[in-house]
Amino acid sequence: LKYTLFQIFGRIDRPEASRIALLLMASQEPPRLARNLIRYVQGLKKKKVIVIPVGIGPHANLKQIRNIEKQAPENKAFVLSSVDELEQRRDEIINYLCDLAPEPPGPTQQSPVAPVTVGPELSGVLSSGPKRNPMALDVVFVLEGSDKVGEASF
């Protein structure tokens, strides 16, 4: 998170985008590092970064996850029993991320357009496909590295 705070969100400035750090955790930080963890989360909050802790498996520390969640109302925690459950709840997490996207700007005043006459060869209907609402999200995925969990379990 320290790198995310200073090197990523400390250097970019996109006020039109929601800033999100998705923190995947499968164990607990030692007490000394846990204090730093909360300091980094508070620093991210000052930079308007939403931290979403995702606890995975039986070794994830619920106290640390809830502590992160309490730092800001938008910090919603997800606690999962395994990586398999992460796949099952993928849509729920993605939907929450999308809900954090800022509203698109309202319609702007369009200047009056002069009528255009189109020849018969161009009278077909032109379509650019379905209209999509643009979303601006800066999302950083942070994987907690733990020797206790191991590659196979994570």
In a domain, residue 112? The reply is no
Residue 12's pLDDT is 79
In a domain, residue 94? The reply is yes
In a domain, residue 118? The reply is no
In a domain, residue 129? The reply is no
User: Number of folded domains in the chain?
Assistant: 1
Rounded-to-integer distance, Cα 145 and Cα 151, Å:
9
In a domain, residue 154? The reply is no
* Token pair belonging to 116: 């255009």
Helices marked H in the chain = 2-3, 31-46, 62-70, 83-88, 90-99
Residues of the chain with pLDDT under 50: 119, 122-127, 130, 132
Q: Residues 29-56, buried b or exposed e (16+ Cβ, 10 A)? A: beeeeeeebbebbebbeeeebbbbbbbb
Range of the domain at 140: 1-8+28-104+135-146
In a domain, residue 81? The reply is yes
Cα–Cα nearest to 34, from 53, 20, 8, 47: 53
Residue 150's pLDDT is 54
* Token pair belonging to 147: 């020797």
In a domain, residue 115? The reply is no
CATH code, 74: 3.40.50.410
Task: Please give the model's pTM, rounded to 2 decimal places.
Answer: 0.73
In a domain, residue 15? The reply is no
Rounded-to-integer distance, Cα 32 and Cα 64, Å:
12
Residue 1's pLDDT is 87
Residue 84's pLDDT is 92
Residue 105's pLDDT is 60
